[in-house]
Every structure is written in C-alpha cells, then in structure tokens.
Amino acid sequence: MNTDLREIKNRLNIVDVLGEYLRLEKAGANYRALCPFHNEKSPSFMVSEEKQMWHCFGCGKGGDIFSFVMEIEGLEFREALKILAEKAGVTLASYNPQKAEQKNRTLEILELATKFYEVQLWKGAGKTKIMDYLKDRGLNDETIKIFRLGYAPNGWRNVLSFLLERGFSIGEIERTGLLVKKEAAQISNSLRRGGLISNQCQNLNDQYTEYKKSNTNYYDRFRDRIIFPICDYSGKVLGYSARVAPGGDESQAKYVNSPETEVYHKSKILYGIDKAKGEIKQKDFALLVEGNMDVIASYQAGIKNVVAVSGTALTSDQLDILKRYTKNLKMLFDMDAAGEAATRKSIKLCLEKNISAQIVILSIGKDAADAAKNDPQKLLAAVAQAKSAMEYLFQKTFSLYDKNKVEDKKKISQSLLEIVESMSDAVEKSHWVKKLAAELDVAESALTDELKKVKLTNRISANEKNQAGEVARINNRQKIDILLEELAGLMLVSENIWEDILKKNEYQSYFSRDSLLDLMLKRGREFDFNFDKFSGAIDRETRSLAEKLFFRKKFRLGLNNSLEETPADDFQKELISILDGLKEEFKKIKLKQIAKDLKLAEERKDKDAVKFLQGELRKILS
C-alpha cells in the first residue's frame, strides 16, 4: 500500500470519519446506520472498527474510508485522498498545487475569489454602503465573518484582473463560473437598449470603454453585488449566490447564482451545511429555509442546525445529504403562493424518502430572516412548536373547501390522497386514510379505492421503468461472473480454502476470467494466503473490490441487525455449492462452443471435424 495511504489509515478511525456523515449506533463490537446510498427503514449499513471497513448488506456497497468518501461526495480518488490527508494531518509527498487536478485548481481559484470579495466588503468599496445594509438586516460582525460574506464591486474586470495577476489563465477562471463570455458589440447594444449609456450612467459608459481596451471576451459575472459563498460539507467554496446591492440596478435579477460547473451542482448543495451538520446530528433535526439570509439570521438567533435550498426546489439529492445526519426535517418557507407550493412538493418528497417532516408557522415576519431580526425568541418558539406536515396539510386543505359539498369532498380527497400515496410506511398511510374518511364522513373503502387509482396513475409507470433497468443490469452479468466473485470472497476470508483451491488444478482454468482471482492465484502464497497482507500490497481499485467481498463473506446480520461473524462451517457448504455451479456453467459454455463449431464443420462438410466434435459432445454429456 502507498505510504501516504497507510499513514492516513493509521491516523484516522473509520468510525470517526463515517460519523461525520452518519448517525452510527453501537451494535456489539461494531456499528450500524441507515445506508446513505439507498432508501431503507432498518439499518443494514455496518462498520467494523476492527477491520476499518464498511459494508451495506442492502445495496452491496462497501470498502474503506477512501471508498466511502469517494462514494458519498462523488469524488475521484485523488480528491478523497486530499480530504482525508488534511483530516489526518498528513502531507502528501506527491502533491503540488500547481499541477493538481483541474478540479482542485478550480477550488483554489474560488477560495482566492472569496477572500477578494471579503476584503472588498471589510476594507474596500463595500465597507460603508454594504456593511450598513447588512447591519440594518440585523447581522453582526461575527456572523458576517462566519458566513464569509463579501462584496463584488462595480466594474467589468475586478476579480478577473485579481486572478490573472496571480497566474491563473482565462480558461481556468472561466471554469469556476466567475466569468461571462460575451462579444463586446453585444455588450454595447445591451447597454444602449437598457438606456444605461446616459448622462446619469456615465460611469458605466466609462467602464465599457475600459472594457473594450482590455481585448478580452470575458467579464466578471458578479458586479455591484453582495456575495454569499456556497460551500460543501467541509467548508470548501463551490460557488456563489450574489444579491444586487442596495441602490443597485433593480432592473437586473435580484439574485444571480453561479452556473453549473464541475464543482457546483445546485441540486446537490445545501447552503449552510458545513456550519449546520454537527448541530443537526446533535439536535436530530434540520431546519430547512428558503434563502441565504434566512440561514444566516436563524444561525445568529441560535438555530445553528439550519440549511437552505438556495435558489432551487428541494431535491432528492439534497434530502439524501440531510439523511446522513437526521431523519427529521422542519420546514420554514415563505407563506405566499410559491412558498405553499414548495412546501407541498417538499412534504411529498420527504414522505417518499421516509423522512419525518414538520412545518414551522410564523406569527411575525414573512420569513425566517424577518422573524430573527424582529423577535428571535418568537422564531425559536415557532420552530419548537412546529406542526406535523400532514396535520398542516389537512388543516390547510380543509380551510379551502366546504367538506359538506360533494364536489369539495372530491377535491379534498384528491389533494390529500396524492400526498398520502407518497408515504413509504404502510401503517402511517393507513392512519391518514382513516382520518380523512372520518373528516369527510365517507367510507374508508371508498378512499382506499381512490388511493389505488392515484397509485396507478402516479407510480406504476415509474416502477416499471425502474424494474426494467434492474432486470437489465442483472441480466448483463453472467452467472459465472457472479459465482467467481463469490468464490473470491470465500478464499479471502478463509486461508485454508484459498490454499486448497490453488492446489487443485481443475479449478485454476476458471481464474483467468477474473482479474482479482487471477492475482490471488499468482500471489496467494507470497502473502501466506492472508487477507490483511494481500490487501495491503495490491492497487487501490483491486483492494476496494477485495475489501467489499471480504466483508460480505466474513460478516452477516444477526438478530436485531447486529453484525456477527459467519461460522466457518458455512464457508465449506457454500464452497461446494459454488464449485458445483461453476462446473455446470463451464459445461454450458463448452457445449455452446462445440455446437457452434459443429454447425460450421457440417456446413464445410469436414467429416473428420464433425466426428471429433461429436465425440467431444458425448464426453461432456455423459
């Protein structure tokens, strides 16, 4: 194993690393959690502190701390290595910032840009006007610094020039989303169409003239805007949300966000998650709000387990991020028509993900930021008194219609049954059907029938598509490859099986189909048929597969989902079954090939070949 990897593994405990993402529960000598990679109600995700490995018995994924960080963060190995090296305090011998991968270069630029914007707010053009605005919104200096708010001054090339002077190329800067590419003629026309080149806006005209001299098609995306850096779970800046400055050009969008880049994907980002994750785990719930200011103001008011969707509707990916830390969500959206629609969609998505959702109703202010500024204690009380999402929807829906009218009964049932059908828990679903039937004074069976119709219209087509994809995935893997994978797992957990198999020549012809088995055949004796010695000396990709197979065979789920070792007797029984299966599968392969050759020999009228092949066929079938 690479020296850097070994040192990182020696310094980091897998329980501590995974514990930053998951709520791990002690289960005997091991730990368990709900798997973050698939939807499940009871924990099948297991962590072995002794082996420093993890495995999910539900979806089959597994490995070490590197594979986990790669999987959950969607990173390449090099990126996961760098993150874990920083956690472990290990300096990577081969790391060179100037020659790092493009993605790391992008993060470096974004970090520098963030510092530039911070300086402009505290010491530059924003230190009076913008700071006064932020203070007027109720924010103090400490909070502004914690969230690294900044200011992008007016002008075409401020951040561009700053970064060019530090050795970054136009192409590198463009990949961050900080720049916009546009022809100079188009800019001039846009300014003139908007009436911006006038006596009152002479400064913009001067800026444009300066821009033309720069001889570039790129300019700063963010100009005269308050900057809200958007970070990943570890605090690395991925992009920005930029609000128009007070007194700025109100004809432009109030907020401008970074475009999709190689690091910034808005559907997979939660604003404030880096500050909130620890508090979410501790409080066992997250407060979800709409905007950046809502997060910052709530945090300052004492609600530190708060995140925002930040310019997008709540997504499945964002809920998957939250499920790493809690299964309880309180939502506080604006109570206008758009906010109501967003709340309804979010509730439905939470129910599909088996997340407990509650709705926070404010008595003051239109949003969390207003409430936090006007009366922080009332905001805290509102969060504490959040109402069950379904209770909220029942109350809201019944307030819109007259339940005594037949047509309104239909509308109420259609509206609420659409939500009820999303529930993954059958008991919960039955409870709300009973409640709805009682409230409407109709037979429960009638609503049950309606629920089936909703399911047919909303769910069947999606389920069929998913099932077809799963069947195709399984069919694409030949049975022989699955058997070989199982055999490799048995050999890895049992030194005796590994050594015995390699002594029997009749099985060695199987191994060339599988790179891991082939490697085990060639190097097993070198490492005394010992998994730990073997895994410590092979390449990362092969080691990841070996660790997954080892864990899957070595352990099994016992009573109460406890992790226990599989008895050695079970290994021997399974070995016999696997070897019998391999013999049968290879027989089928030989028969298929002989049949093909025989047909070709008959077409060529090659009597000797036909006679020989028929003899081979009889040997196999006898």
Q: Tell me how far apart the alpha carbons of residues 226 and 242 are, in angstroms, rounded to a whole number.
A: 5
Among residues 171, 158, 165, 312, the alpha carbon closest in space to that of 227 is found at 158
In a shared domain, residues 518 and 584: yes
Write phi, then psi, for 411 (nearest 5 degrees).
-65, -40
Contact 298, 372 (CB under 8 A): yes
Contact 289, 298 (CB under 8 A): yes
HEC per residue, 192-244: HHCCCCCCCCHHHHHHHHHHHHCCCCEEECCCCEEEEEEECCCCCEEEEEEEE
Q: Is residue 118 part of a domain?
A: yes
- The band of 506, judged by pLDDT with boundaries at 50, 70 and 90, is low
The string of DSSP letters for 576-587 reads HHHHHHHHHHHH
Residue bearing the bigger pLDDT, 386 or 324: 386
Q: What is the pLDDT of residue 456?
A: 65
For helices 337-352 and 316-323, the axis angle rounded to 10 degrees is 60
At 1, which helix (H) or strand (E)?
none
Residue bearing the bigger pLDDT, 172 or 537: 172
For residue 297 the two structure tokens come to 């103001």
Alpha helix ranges (H) inside 234-283: 273-283
Give yes or no for residue 461 having a pLDDT over 80: no
**Quick count: other Cβ atoms within 10 Å of Cβ 362?**
18
For residue 607 the two structure tokens come to 């009597």
In a shared domain, residues 271 and 379: yes
pLDDT single digits (tens) 173-183: 999 999 998 75
How many Å is the Cα radius of gyration of the chain? 31
Q: What is the pLDDT of residue 476?
A: 41
Q: Tell me how far apart the alpha carbons of residues 252 and 243 are, in angstroms, rounded to a whole number.
A: 10
Question: How are strands ordered across the β-sheet holding 25-27?
Answer: 25-27, 30-33, 45-48, 53-56, 62-63
Provide the 3-class DSSP secondary structure of residue 557: strand
In a shared domain, residues 236 and 297: no
At which of 473, 503, 518 does a domain end?
473
In a shared domain, residues 357 and 292: yes
Q: Pick the range with the lowest mean pLDDT from 187-201, 276-290, 475-489.
A: 187-201
**Residue pointed to by tokens 């539900």:** 58
Q: Tell me how far apart the alpha carbons of residues 613 and 618 are, in angstroms, rounded to a whole number.
A: 9
Q: Can you tell me the mean pLDDT for 487-499?
A: 88
Chain-centre distance for alpha carbon 127: 37
For residue 36 the two structure tokens come to 């973050």
In a shared domain, residues 118 and 254: yes
Q: What are the beta bridge partners of residue 30?
A: 27
Among residues 418, 410, 425, the alpha carbon closest in space to that of 455 is found at 418
Residue bearing the bigger pLDDT, 63 or 117: 117
In a shared domain, residues 273 and 252: no
- The band of 220, judged by pLDDT with boundaries at 50, 70 and 90, is very high
At which of 388, 416, 450 does a domain end?
388
Q: Can you tell me the mean pLDDT for 81-91?
A: 87
Q: Can you tell me the mean pLDDT for 236-247?
A: 93
Q: Can you tell me the mean pLDDT for 395-411?
A: 90
Q: Is residue 622 part of a domain?
A: no
**Quick count: other Cβ atoms within 10 Å of Cβ 456?**
11
In a shared domain, residues 139 and 7: no
At which of 388, 417, 433 does a domain end?
388
For residue 59 the two structure tokens come to 């979806």
Q: What is the pLDDT of residue 181?
A: 87
- DSSP label at residue 247: T
For residue 411 the two structure tokens come to 């509308």
Give the strand pairing for 237-244 and 387-388.
unpaired
Q: Is residue 189 part of a domain?
A: no
Alpha helix ranges (H) inside 20-94: 65-73, 77-88
Q: Can you tell me the mean pLDDT for 460-474?
A: 44
Q: What is the pLDDT of residue 221?
A: 95
Q: What is the pLDDT of residue 217?
A: 84
In a shared domain, residues 405 and 545: no
Write phi, then psi, for 90 (nearest 5 degrees).
-105, 130
Q: Tell me how far apart the alpha carbons of residues 355 and 291 are, in angstroms, rounded to a whole number.
A: 22
In a shared domain, residues 585 and 483: yes
Q: Is residue 197 part of a domain?
A: no
The CATH number given to whatever domain includes residue 337 is: 3.40.1360.10
Report, in this order, helix, strand and coil percent for the chain, each rounded to 5: 60, 10, 30
In a shared domain, residues 232 and 169: yes
Torsional sign, CA 447, 453, 459, 464: positive
Domain span at residue 345 reads 267-388
Give yes or no for residue 609 having a pLDDT over 60: yes
**Quick count: other Cβ atoms within 10 Å of Cβ 505?**
7
Provide the 3-class DSSP secondary structure of residue 260: coil
Q: What are the beta bridge partners of residue 372?
A: none
Q: What percent of the chain is modeled with pLDDT above 70?
A: 86
- The band of 194, judged by pLDDT with boundaries at 50, 70 and 90, is very low
The CATH number given to whatever domain includes residue 106 is: 3.90.980.10
pLDDT single digits (tens) 510-559: 666 667 888 888 888 888 888 888 887 887 778 888 888 888 888 777 66
Q: Pick the range with the lowest mean pLDDT from 201-205, 345-349, 422-426, 554-558.
A: 201-205
Contact 8, 88 (CB under 8 A): yes
Q: Tell me how far apart the alpha carbons of residues 535 and 550 are, in angstroms, rounded to a whole number.
A: 10
Give the strand pairing for 150-152 and 563-565.
unpaired
**Residue pointed to by tokens 């049975």:** 479
The CATH number given to whatever domain includes residue 63 is: 3.90.580.10
In a shared domain, residues 486 and 413: no
In this structure, what is the dihedral angle of CA atoms 428, 434, 437, 441, given to the nearest 10 degrees?
Answer: -150
Q: Is residue 195 part of a domain?
A: no
Sequence-ordered list of residues with C-beta below 8 angstroms from that of 137, at least 6 positions apart, any chain:
293, 297, 369, 373
Q: Is residue 19 part of a domain?
A: yes
At 544, which helix (H) or strand (E)?
helix 540-554
Q: Is residue 18 part of a domain?
A: yes
**Quick count: other Cβ atoms within 10 Å of Cβ 490?**
22
Task: Indicate the number of domains in the chain.
Answer: 5
- Mean predicted lDDT score pLDDT of the chain: 83
In a shared domain, residues 326 and 416: no
The string of DSSP letters for 395-459 reads HHHHHHS-TTSHHHHHHHHHHHHHHHTT-S-HHHHHHHHHHHHHHHT--HHHHHHHHHHHHHHHT
For residue 483 the two structure tokens come to 């058997």
Contact 33, 45 (CB under 8 A): yes
Q: Can you tell me the mean pLDDT for 283-290?
A: 94
Q: Is residue 619 part of a domain?
A: no
pLDDT single digits (tens) 583-606: 888 888 888 888 888 888 888 888
For residue 259 the two structure tokens come to 């475009």
